[in-house]
């Protein structure tokens, strides 16, 4: 029996979707692989599983029975999980102890040691909390955490707890990554242990340079005035400094990082025992990698760009003083290798490297793509010759974890025809050894009743105005009779740092639209991620221009599908996608007949420093660019029906963006539909909110298309 997917069913339990296994990690000796999976009965909880790499046997370690161990999330963790777009509970993080006997489990404000032998829990420092960013020290002796902006650690041998800092207040925090670091630089850590646990390096963040502004959060029961130091584009940032705490002496030392007044502390960490930092200038056109050698900062790597430099986490030491690094200086991202200060590209120019997964014995293992950006694979790179051998061969997107000592790797992967899998493989040749998890949709799977109606998308390419190849994915609707045509929804994000078109088991939202008679078209325009610096560069100081023209150009391919009614094309997007929806409606003429814009940016001057200035420059120096990218002047060209949605407690794309849109649409006497969600933040992820908004979206597109 085949059922039509409904909004209510999509967002209810048991979960229909089968996301990739998350937080995949080897035990220290490689004998086990642990990973999280969405619970079979609760779409908002992650459970923890372990697989024996010798037998392939999988057991569940942490499930609903441990909910009693959870406490209340700390403010630090609540904000960090929002920045990481982590909207589930349960096991959101964990770490292996060095001897492989136990796991450190942060569970909603509490910290636990989970002993594998007896499956027993022991709370760490129960009298202190709620704890944020709970992590183990380098050797595993200390559990470290942040409580109300100050840094603590507990000696797991003696249960003694020490407070590292004691000066946190309304504007000072220690050991916590600041808003810009988390939201835009994707640096979520604010402290780092020395490899021998003799010292702890941490950030001290002072937000007092940022003017205090008031933001209203509107909830169902009333409004709350929130005082916030939001770093608007062109304004000041928080002051971030780096400090070292020595355990034996208790001494704090300010580390004189070579930061100019407005530079960003982008990355911090230890490389083969040496403290290394990455420093980025405010324009993000200069990136310097420094190593602290003999108490002096040495330049290990330096890059410049006429547009911007993308940050990454691809820095590895080889154990012999040489480094691995990736750079887009030559076009695609390539692996660089050599002595500090003398790194050079070694991988082929046609191999785009996205992540370094391991290094050992003259070999490096990297993730990336060679033939098409719609896939991702693991490659073994010979550091002497630069030869790159592909190890994963099943078509699709592979996310891999390498354990060089045991000679294994695991790949969490899927493609449009195969739901997520977790496969244990031989590191020497990539051969599959065992399937540790397979989201097989058998008769007992809740999605089984919808499987025969599952629509497999088609892939293709179209050329941009500058000749760049753009990739698209088109999901056909369900149940069309021969000769019948259907409307299409362009599901857009379009902003930098993201990629939608991949050969992977797609989100079931695409199936929802398809089951209700809509085709879904997705296109990665210029500016999208995973294509290299030159592909991204056209949007520099021109946001809302080239990427909109690419979306319009992409519609040309729809005429080649006989089931598409090109006179009934709508557009829908969230966040940057909401911005793109508005710009497509205003600039696309009659190409788009209706649009749904959720949590859109309307004026980039109201967004934050690091993200906005990376692509648009400084608001004062580049005033014309900001004017051209602002939605408000374009609204006079809006003729198509619009549904506007926004969370009324959004602290990322502030609700002000939508109130400005409302006022300007009213001034222009432009009709529009509106739905706001009291108490909801940027993600609009609450179950009832998700059900309501997608029922509304379907209804809107039924009426308008």
Q: Which sequence positions are flagged as catalytic?
A: 575, 650, 682
Residue 35 · residue 21 · CB < 8 Å = yes
Contacts of residue 87, defined as CB under 8 A and 6 or more positions apart, other chains included, come to 44, 81, 683, 685
Burial class (CB in 10 A: 0-12, 13-18, 19+), 162: middle
| DSSP at 637 | G
Distance CA 489, CA 474 (A): 10
Closest CA to 609 of 176, 79, 211, 333: 211
Structure tokens at 507: 């989100």
- β-pair partners for 215: 226
**DSSP string across 341-374:** T--EE-S-TT-EEEEEEEEETTEEEEEEESS-TT
Distance CA 151, CA 146 (A): 5
Distance CA 5, CA 678 (A): 27
Compute, in degrees rounded to 10, the torsion defined by CA atoms 277, 281, 287, 293: -30
**DSSP string across 75-115:** HHHHHHHHHTT---EE----EE-TTSSEEEEEETTEEEEEE
Distance CA 550, CA 470 (A): 8
Residue 251 has a CB neighbour count (10 Å cut-off) of 10
Burial class (CB in 10 A: 0-12, 13-18, 19+), 211: exposed
Structure tokens at 652: 């990322």
- The CA distances from residue 21 to 46, 119, 436, 440, 619, in Å, are 10, 22, 10, 13, 42
Query: Which stretches of 128-283 are DSSP H helices?
Result: 179-183
| Phi, psi for residue 276 in degrees, rounded to 5 | -130, 145
SS3 sequence, 152-178?
EEEECCCCCEEECCCCCCCCEEECCCC
For β-strands 363-369 and 377-382, DSSP reports them as antiparallel
Distance CA 13, CA 10 (A): 8
Contacts of residue 354, defined as CB under 8 A and 6 or more positions apart, other chains included, come to 333, 366, 367, 368, 369, 376, 530
Burial class (CB in 10 A: 0-12, 13-18, 19+), 442: exposed
Contacts of residue 99, defined as CB under 8 A and 6 or more positions apart, other chains included, come to 28, 140
Distance CA 563, CA 486 (A): 6
- The vertex-450 CA angle with 438 and 456, nearest 5°, equals 75
Distance CA 124, CA 104 (A): 9
């Amino acid at each position: 029996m085949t059922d039509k997917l409904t909004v209510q069913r999509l967002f209810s339990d048991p979960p229909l979707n089968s996301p990739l296994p998350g937080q995949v990690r080897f035990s220290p000796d490689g004998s086990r692989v642990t990973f999280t999976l969405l619970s079979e009965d609760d779409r908002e909880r992650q459970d923890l599983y372990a697989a024996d790499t010798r037998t392939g046997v999988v057991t569940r370690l942490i499930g609903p029975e441990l909910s009693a161990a959870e406490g209340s999330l700390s403010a630090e963790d609540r904000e960090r999980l929002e920045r990481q777009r982590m909207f589930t509970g349960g096991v959101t993080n964990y770490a292996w102890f060095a001897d492989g006997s136990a796991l450190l489990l942060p569970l909603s404000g509490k910290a636990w040691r989970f002993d594998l032998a007896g499956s027993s829990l022991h709370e760490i420092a129960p009298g202190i909390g709620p704890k944020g960013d709970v992590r183990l020290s380098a050797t595993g002796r200390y559990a470290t955490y942040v409580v109300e902006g100050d840094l603590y650690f507990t000696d797991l041998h003696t249960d003694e707890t020490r407070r590292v800092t004691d000066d946190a207040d309304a504007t000072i925090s220690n050991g916590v990554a600041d808003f810009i670091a988390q939201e835009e630089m994707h640096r979520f850590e604010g402290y780092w242990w020395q490899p021998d646990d003799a010292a702890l390096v941490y950030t001290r963040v002072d937000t007092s340079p940022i003017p205090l502004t008031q933001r209203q959060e509107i909830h169902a029961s009333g409004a709350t005035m929130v005082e916030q130091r939001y770093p608007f584009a062109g304004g000041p940032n928080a002051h971030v400094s780096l400090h070292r705490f020595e355990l034996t002496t208790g001494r704090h030392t300010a580390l004189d990082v070579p930061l100019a007044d407005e530079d960003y502390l982008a990355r911090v960490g230890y490389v083969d025992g040496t403290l290394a930092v990455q420093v980025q200038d405010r324009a993000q056109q200069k990136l310097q990698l420094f190593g602290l050698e003999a108490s002096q900062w040495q330049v290990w790597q330096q890059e410049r760009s006429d547009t911007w430099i993308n940050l990454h986490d691809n820095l590895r030491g080889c154990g012999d003083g040489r480094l691995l690094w990736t750079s887009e200086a030559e076009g695609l991202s390539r692996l660089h290798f050599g002595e500090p200060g003398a790194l050079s590209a070694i991988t082929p120019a046609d191999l785009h490297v996205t992540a370094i997964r391991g290094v050992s014995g003259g070999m490096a293992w990297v993730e990336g793509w060679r033939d098409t950006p719609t896939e991702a694979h693991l490659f073994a790179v010979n550091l002497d010759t630069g030869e790159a051998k592909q190890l994963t061969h099943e078509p699709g997107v592979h996310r891999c974890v390498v354990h060089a000592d045991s000679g294994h790797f695991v790949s969490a992967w899927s493609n449009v025809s195969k739901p997520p899998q977790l496969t244990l493989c031989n590191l020497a040749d990539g051969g599959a050894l065992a399937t540790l998890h397979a989201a097989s949709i058998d008769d007992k799977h809740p999605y089984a009743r919808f499987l025969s109606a599952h629509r497999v998308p088609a892939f293709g390419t179209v050329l941009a105005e500058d000749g760049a190849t753009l990739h698209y994915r088109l999901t056909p609707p369900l149940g069309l009779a021969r000769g019948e045509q259907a409307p299409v929804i362009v599901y857009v994000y379009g902003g930098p740092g993201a990629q939608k078109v991949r050969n992977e088991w797609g989100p079931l939202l695409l199936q929802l639209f398809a089951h209700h008679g809509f085709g879904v078209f997705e296109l990665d325009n210029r500016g999208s991620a995973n294509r290299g610096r030159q592909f991204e560069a056209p949007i520099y100081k021109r946001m809302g221009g080239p990427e909109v023209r690419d979306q319009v150009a992409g519609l040309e391919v729809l005429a080649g599908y006989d089931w598409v009614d090109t006179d009934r094309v709508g557009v829908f997007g969230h966040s940057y996608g909401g911005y793109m929806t508005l710009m497509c409606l205003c600039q696309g003429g009659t190409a788009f007949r209706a649009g749904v814009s959720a949590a859109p940016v309307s004026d980039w001057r109201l967004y934050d420093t690091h993200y906005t200035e990376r692509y648009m420059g400084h608001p004062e120096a580049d005033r014309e660019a900001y004017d051209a990218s602002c939605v408000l002047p374009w609204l006079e060209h809006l003729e198509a029906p619009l549904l506007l949605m926004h969370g009324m407690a959004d602290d990322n794309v502030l609700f002000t963006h939508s109130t400005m849109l409302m006022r300007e649409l009213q001034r222009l006497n432009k009709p529009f539909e509106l739905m706001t969600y009291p108490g909801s933040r940027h993600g609009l992820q609450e179950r009832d909110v998700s059900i309501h908004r997608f029922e509304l979206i379907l209804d809107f597109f039924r009426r308008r298309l």
